[in-house]
Amino acid sequence: MPFRRNDDRIDETRGITYTSAQLPSPVLFTGPAECDIWAATTAADTDWVVKLSDVGPDGTSLLLSAGYVRASQRAVDRHRSRPGDPWLRNSHADRVPAGAALAYRIPMQPLGVTLGAGHRLRLAIYSADPAVHEPLLKPATNTVFHDRSHPSVLRLRVVDEGRI
């Protein structure tokens, strides 16, 4: 059976979403992608899942890229990382202090897509993705911060096709 992307609008109700304004003209996104968030949990550990979607003029939301990090595996190797492409060590579990706002660099699948005028980008943030991996068993309250003290950012490579 051929691959078919599904409309993610139903899944997006399970998390926090941020949607851009409509693109005024076509835009080519290519290369690595990264989402940096500040977040806290009441649990000893949690998962952070980010999904980037193309929202068409009709409202359909189609997945472009996704990334995952377990809070205790958030350590980044600064020597191997570069902007848009963090290298997570995954060599040991770091303590996750309950209620503390921590920075997470979440690597995402690379992009290679041109979105047309009128399309929008949507970033969804979750604490689990049961379709892909088993969620942690202990319930928690998770908080995502987005203020001056806790700047979150989505890093994408945008190519100006007029300059290639």
Confidence at 134, pLDDT banded by 50, 70, 90: confident
For 47-64, the pLDDT digits (tens) are 999 999 999 999 999 999
What does the block give as tokens for 79?
């020597």
pLDDT category at 2 given cuts 50, 70, 90 is low
Of the candidates 89, 76, 72, the one whose C-alpha atom is nearest the C-alpha of residue 138 is 72
For the cut 50, the answer to whether the pLDDT of residue 164 exceeds it is no
Q: What is the pLDDT of residues 79-121, one digit of tens each?
A: 999 888 899 998 899 999 999 999 999 999 999 999 999 999 9
